[in-house]
Amino acid sequence: MTKQVQIGSVAIGGGAPLALIAGPCVIEDPARTLEIGRSIQAIAAKLRMPYIFKASFDKANRSSYQSFRGPGLTEGLNILARIKQELGAPVLSDIHEAAQAAAAAAVLDVLQIPAFLCRQTDLLHAAAQTGKPVNVKKGQFLSPLEMKNVITKLTESGCRSILLTERGSSFGYNNLVVDMRSLAILRSFGQPVVFDATHSVQLPGGGGDRSAGQREFVPVLARAAAAAGIDALFLEVHDNPAEALSDGPNMVPVDKLESLLTQVLAIDRAVRGY
């Protein structure tokens, strides 16, 4: 069994119920972002699923210079603070530079390290030094075994609340695959394990100046991950993915979310034996 990490009012791992980390890829219009969060929260509450809201304030690694990045650190954190207050739910967002850690920690309940940056020692150290829980996405270029080094960097920097997220591995050009053995390997380290079902269907750079995706496979991978055993499910969700300003092809439509989560929870209960 993994250790338990407390994120605001939500416990992840250690036998706690399967948690949901979900929201739009990036903060777009503040009102729309909040409304998406409310819709997800209502579904999670109906299914009795602990919920953490997520959205990025800056997508610093977009394929194109012209791509929408979000409102930025200061405005983005102000928006996330309002969403946190309105929803009464913990909030998660990612940081890209060590200098962002302290400001982000003043608002966020958990700091996320992007997959591309998961080996950046200074970034990990800065996140750990805030005292907040840290969710690290496994790089597409790393084996699950190599995440032990990431855990060590965080623990040696003082972090005691760590989540590990699987989000697929590079498979040739412009493609990702998920080796479900990775979930078992990551769990063997004792940290709670999260599965990011939406980024796992991304086709990086597959659209030339943007990433493409295969949304139709999100339910397949989410069900498989629940069967393998996870502590939380990470999903990017939008009310109209075709209008989304980032990662639209990967995102789950709000009106499809309840059905997907119902399936995942049924498998999770079977695996847990209740």
Query: In whole angstroms, what is the distance from residue 191 CA to residue 10 CA?
Result: 16
- Look at residue 45 and tell me whether its pLDDT is greater than 90: yes
Give the C-alpha separation, 212 to 214, whole Å. 7
> Which helix (H) or strand (E) covers residue 265, if one does?
helix 254-272
pLDDT at 247 over 90: no
Mean pLDDT of the chain: 95
Give dist(CA 101, CA 127) in Å, integer. Answer: 6
Confidence of residue 70 (pLDDT cuts 50, 70, 90): confident
pLDDT in tens, 86-107: 999 999 999 999 999 999 999 9
Yes or no: say if 118 and 141 are a contact pair by the CB < 8 Å rule.
no
Of 138, 134, 158, the closest CA to residue 147 belongs to: 138
Higher pLDDT, 39 or 205: 39
Percent of the chain clearing pLDDT 90 (strictly above): 88
Distance in angstroms (rounded) separating the CA atoms of residues 157 and 121 = 10
Report strand pairing: 252-253 vs 51-54.
unpaired
- pTM summary value: 0.96
The pLDDT of residue 63 is 64
CATH top-level class of 5-272 = alpha beta
User: How far is 173 from 98, CA to CA, in rounded Å?
Assistant: 30
Domain borders along the chain are 5-272
- The reported pLDDT for the residue numbered 212 is 82
146-199 per-position pLDDT tens digit: 999 999 999 999 999 999 999 999 999 999 999 999 999 999 999 999 999 999
User: Per-residue confidence at 210, pLDDT binned at 50, 70, 90?
Assistant: low
